[in-house]
């Protein structure tokens, strides 16, 4: 069949459209274009550095219709790959970009294997074409992400990772830098977030001779956590009390400003609610996945000492090393004398250096090493020849170091620093008080007696740990509260045990005595060290010397002991002594009087033993619910209450990373000059409508209406108009209508 006026060989977009609709009918035209492509390709190979638009058009046409003629174009993808591998650096940039786009089209149609294409693109990263490198980087990340969307292809990922790891050692710095960027981005997208990727960046990237690759690798170990902190800070700032804002808007006058505030609050509230419904994805920090953190820290420190990089790069090294030491609790003793040299108030970025010193502190470091750091810090910062801000920063840094290594502070130095609690500047005073609060929680004995505060149940239980000592818990702290939830069960068990044993003393004379005895059992078990009144400790200590030598006798109260004259009943004796007595007594036997010191010792030992056993058994046998944990938390808070029910300020828990704000935090209201206040006011007015009367006329030069003029007139001039119309009654309307009709009749 001969087609007249056939323009298809010259109009490739039209031919492409027709082939996609009916491939069989246009096979001849396709074969003609394919032969044309082969001939143009041969011409191109003679001069590969010249641009050929015909070749680009033919390649894009064949890539668009490749799915229609799979058998005929079986070798077409490999042909383009060979051209790019052979002439990648000599090709014209536009042609090279066209070839890559054609290969991506074929990849989307599954006509070329992803491994071959990605290996080619990794090699093309060496090309001196920034636009192409950015384009290829985006495609590589997107393609690997799509391949792992449904399930991770471990075999393909492993092959690509091995190939990319060789690219990190490439002589071309641009290709190595782009490879690091791709790996970091894939880690952040949680596609290659395994230990293999992290350790290759740690062992190859961080020690690369190319500075850009080294900096990108160091930023990888620092950037993830900083990003998480920023996100958490933004989320905490967005927390909104919607009910309060709605109530204020309902009561106060309706204004545009309040309306905007309400709309913004609703928007933030909805965002927060949506975020709460989503599952929180937990992701380990990259620094936790390093296989050999000790070796990495030592090599980084050696590279830092021998290198001659810029100061910012040195700070990155110090940051990564300090995080490795703090998180993995490493030993790198030469790090502390090195960083001590930079602890000077005039040092550039000194607050960050103090942050690194705090991050590198942990309980396993010998306290003598960190003590030298603290002494240098105090001598250079906490002196009255410095400004109050410098002193406050020094005290804050000492506090952050002592949070992680409390034994590094000696008693004399601590008491000298606590003297600043009465300093004239508030910033220094608050920093010193925060140090006092820390050691109230850690080692109260290092503080002077007046600085220890009122004793609480929690402070009594504090035991200072020695160097290297570990306190292993065999129960969950605060589970004593769950024992109080069912006292009747404990009483019944105790009664059954005492009734079964022949050694127990049981008084069955009256039910009242039994009830009293049970009540005493409850109070004895629940009694804690915080119930002892410590308000008069000093007065009692003076009189103890004379009273301790005297023998005392146990009674319920002094008044009862005087009335009974030494005769004791069965109910007067503590229930624990009855249970633990090893001497068999008849019910009619007289009770023997026991010295008070002995009874107190026995009862306290028995109480401790029984409570510990009960708590351990509870931890092993019970599954705790949310209500149980809430009850435990309440009990822990009660322990930190002082006698006047004032809750002591709690120190923050030790975190992995030290926030720079904790060191730079200064309790001080800055004084601002007039220009700064005016600038802040002008900044607050940005994006706000002009205050005052809003003239909404299109033409500002037109005359005013009578209604607008009336606003400026004297009230007596418009008094008659202010009265308004008076409504007529139905009778007046009748009379008016009748009068009107009569007048009309007369006029006729």
Query: Do 32 and 137 belong to one domain?
Result: yes
Say if 271 falls within a structural domain: no
Query: Do 409 and 499 belong to one domain?
Result: no
> For residue 648, what pLDDT is reported?
47
CATH label of the domain that carries residue 40: 1.25.10
Positions of the chain with pLDDT under 50 = 1-4, 224-238, 279-283, 486-606, 609, 643-651
Query: Do 388 and 351 belong to one domain?
Result: yes
Residue 411 tokens, joined: 């008693």
Tell me the C-alpha distance between 29 and 23, whole Å: 10
pLDDT tens by residue, 255-285: 888 888 888 888 887 877 776 665 444 445 7
Alpha helices in 407-510 (DSSP H): 411-418, 426-441, 457-461, 480-484, 487-500
Choose the final residue of a domain: 573, 600, 620.
Answer: 620
Query: Do 58 and 207 belong to one domain?
Result: yes
- Helix%, strand%, coil% for the chain, nearest 5: 65, 0, 35
> For residue 523, what pLDDT is reported?
38
Cβ count within 10 A of residue 84: 20
Task: Provide the domain count of the chain.
Answer: 3
Query: Do 108 and 157 belong to one domain?
Result: yes
Q: What are phi and psi of 493, to 5 degrees?
A: -65, -40
- Bridge partner list, 553: 595
CB contact set of 191 (below 8 Å; sequence gap of 6+): 144, 145, 148, 152
> For residue 414, what pLDDT is reported?
92
Query: Do 80 and 176 belong to one domain?
Result: yes
Tell me the C-alpha distance between 250 and 268, whole Å: 19
Say if 258 falls within a structural domain: no
> For residue 544, what pLDDT is reported?
42
Query: Do 75 and 133 belong to one domain?
Result: yes
CB contact set of 426 (below 8 Å; sequence gap of 6+): 667, 668
Say if 629 falls within a structural domain: no
Q: Give the largest CA-CA distance in the chain.
A: 138
pLDDT tens by residue, 43-86: 988 888 888 888 888 999 999 988 888 888 888 989 999 988 88
Angle 665-671-676 from CA coordinates, rounded to 5°: 110
Say if 265 falls within a structural domain: no
Choose the final residue of a domain: 620, 646, 672.
Answer: 620
Say if 177 falls within a structural domain: yes
Say if 267 falls within a structural domain: no
Q: Taking a C-beta distance cutoff of 8 angstroms, is the pair 654, 514 a contact? A: no
Query: Do 430 and 511 belong to one domain?
Result: no
Cβ count within 10 A of residue 470: 6
Q: Is the pTM of this model over 0.95?
A: no
> For residue 334, what pLDDT is reported?
94
Query: Do 556 and 425 belong to one domain?
Result: no
- DSSP code per residue over 35-70: HHHHHHHHHHHHSTTS--HHHHHHHHHHHHSGGG-T
CB contact set of 653 (below 8 Å; sequence gap of 6+): none
Query: Do 211 and 89 belong to one domain?
Result: yes
Choose the final residue of a domain: 620, 636, 667.
Answer: 620
- Bridge partner list, 647: 641
Boundaries of domain holding 557: 480-532+550-620
Cβ count within 10 A of residue 226: 11
Query: Do 443 and 564 belong to one domain?
Result: no
Query: Do 511 and 419 belong to one domain?
Result: no
């Amino acid at each position: 069949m001969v087609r007249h006026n056939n323009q298809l060989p010259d109009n490739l977009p039209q031919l492409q459209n027709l082939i996609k609709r009916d491939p069989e009918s246009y096979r001849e035209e396709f074969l003609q274009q394919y032969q044309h492509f082969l001939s143009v390709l041969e011409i191109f190979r003679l001069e590969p550095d010249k641009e050929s638009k015909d070749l680009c058009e033919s390649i894009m046409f064949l890539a668009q219709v490749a799915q229609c003629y799979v058998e005929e174009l079986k070798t077409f993808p490999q042909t383009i790959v060979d051209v790019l591998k052979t002439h990648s650096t000599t090709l014209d940039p536009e042609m090279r970009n066209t070839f890559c786009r054609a290969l991506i089209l074929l990849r989307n149609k599954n006509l070329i294997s992803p491994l071959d294409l990605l290996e080619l693109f990794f090699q093309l990263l060496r090309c001196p074409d920034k636009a192409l490198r950015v384009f290829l980087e985006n495609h590589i990340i997107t393609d690997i992400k799509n391949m792992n969307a449904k399930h991770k292809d471990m075999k393909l990922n492993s092959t690509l990772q091995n190939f990319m790891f060789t690219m990190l050692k490439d002589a071309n710095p641009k290709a190595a830098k782009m490879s690091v960027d791709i790996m970091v981005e894939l880690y952040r997208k949680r596609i290659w977030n395994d230990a293999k990727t992290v350790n290759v960046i740690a062992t190859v990237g961080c020690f690369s001779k190319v500075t850009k690759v080294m900096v990108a690798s160091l930023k990888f170990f620092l950037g993830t956590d900083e990003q998480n902190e920023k996100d958490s800070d933004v989320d905490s700032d967005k927390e909104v009390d919607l009910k309060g804002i709605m109530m204020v808007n309902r009561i106060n006058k309706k204004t545009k400003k309040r309306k905007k505030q309400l709309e913004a609050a609703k928007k933030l509230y909805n965002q927060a609610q949506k975020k709460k419904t989503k599952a929180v994805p937990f992701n380990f920090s990259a620094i936790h996945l390093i296989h050999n953190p000790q070796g990495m820290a030592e090599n980084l420190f050696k590279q830092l000492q021998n290198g001659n990089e810029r100061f910012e790069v040195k700070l990155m090294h110090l940051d990564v090393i300090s995080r490795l030491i703090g998180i993995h609790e490493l030993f790198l003793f030469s790090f502390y004398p090195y960083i001590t040299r930079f602890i000077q108030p005039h040092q550039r970025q000194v607050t960050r250096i103090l942050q690194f010193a705090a991050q590198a502190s942990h309980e396993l470091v010998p306290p003598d090493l960190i003590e030298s750091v603290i002494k240098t810090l105090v001598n250079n910062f906490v002196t009255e020849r410095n400004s109050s801000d410098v002193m406050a920063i020094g005290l804050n840094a000492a506090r952050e170091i002592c949070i992680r290594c409390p034994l590094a502070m000696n008693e004399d130095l601590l008491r000298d620093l606590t003297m600043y609690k009465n300093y004239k500047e508030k910033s220094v005073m608050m920093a010193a008080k925060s140090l006092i609060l820390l050691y109230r929680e850690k080692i109260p004995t290092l503080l002077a007696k007046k600085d220890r505060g009122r004793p609480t149940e929690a402070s009594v239980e504090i035991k200072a740990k020695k160097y290297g000592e570990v306190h292993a818990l065999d129960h969950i702290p605060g589970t004593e509260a769950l024992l109080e939830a069912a006292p009747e069960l404990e009483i019944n068990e105790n009664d059954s045990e005492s009734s079964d044993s022949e050694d127990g003393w049981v008084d069955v004379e009256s039910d009242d005595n039994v009830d009293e005895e049970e009540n005493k059992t409850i109070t004895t078990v629940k009694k804690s060290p915080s119930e002892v009144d410590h308000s008069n400790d000093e007065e009692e200590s003076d009189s103890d010397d004379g009273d301790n030598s005297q023998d005392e006798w146990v009674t319920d109260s002094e008044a009862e002991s005087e009335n009974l004259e030494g005769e004791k009943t069965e109910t007067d004796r503590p229930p624990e002594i009855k249970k633990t007595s090893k001497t068999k007594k008849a019910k009619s036997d007289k009770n023997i009087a026991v010295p008070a010191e002995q009874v107190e010792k026995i009862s306290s030992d028995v109480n401790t033993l029984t409570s510990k056993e009960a708590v351990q058994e509870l931890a092993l046998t019970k599954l705790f619910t949310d209500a149980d944990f809430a009850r435990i938390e309440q009990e822990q808070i009660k322990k930190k209450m002082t006698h006047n029910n004032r809750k002591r300020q709690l120190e923050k828990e030790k975190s992995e990373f030290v926030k720079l704000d904790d060191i730079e935090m200064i309790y001080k209201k800055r004084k601002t000059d007039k220009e700064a206040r005016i600038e802040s006011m002008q900044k607050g007015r940005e994006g706000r409508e002009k205050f005052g009367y809003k003239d909404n006329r299109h033409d500002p030069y037109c005359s005013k209406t009578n209604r607008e003029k009336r606003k400026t007139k004297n009230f007596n001039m418009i008094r008659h108009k202010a009265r308004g119309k008076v409504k007529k009654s139905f009778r007046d309307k009748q009379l008016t209508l009748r009068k009107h009709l009569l007048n009309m009749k007369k006029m006729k």
